[in-house]
Amino acid sequence: MSGEHHSALQKLCRVCGNNVYKVKTPRQYKCYDHQTDLRETFGIDIVLDSLEPETYPTQFCHTCKNVIYCHKRALKNNREYTHKVTVKEWECHVEENCKICNPPSAPTIGRPKKLVKEGRPPLLSVPSLLKIQHPHRKSQNYGSTV
Answer whether 12's CB lies under 8 Å from 20's CB.
yes
Q: How far is the CB of 13 from Zn ion (least distance, A)?
A: 3
Helix or strand or coil: residue 16? Answer: coil
Decide if residue 5 touches Zn ion (CB under 5 A).
yes
Phi, psi of 139 (to 5 degrees): -80, 115
Who's near 98: CB < 8 A, 6+ residues apart? 5
One residue of 64, 67, 68, 71 binding Zn ion per CB under 5 A: 64
One residue of 9, 12, 13, 38 binding Zn ion per CB under 5 A: 13
DSSP per-residue codes, 87-102:
PPPP----SSS-TTTS
Torsion, Cα 9 15 21 26, to 10 degrees, reads: -150
Reading phi first (left if > 0) and then psi (alpha if -120 to 50, else beta), residue 97 is in left
- Whichever of 74 and 90 has its CB closer to Zn ion, that residue is 90
The region of 7-15, 41-49, 67-75, 112-120 touching Zn ion under the rule CB under 5 A is 7-15
Decide if residue 46 touches Zn ion (CB under 5 A).
no
Q: Which of residues 73-102 bind Zn ion (CB under 5 A)?
A: 93, 98, 100-101
The region of 6-14, 27-35, 41-49, 125-133 touching Zn ion under the rule CB under 5 A is 6-14
Total of residues contacting Zn ion (CB under 5 A): 10
| Binding interface with Zn ion (CB under 5 A) | 5, 13, 15-16, 61, 64, 93, 98, 100-101
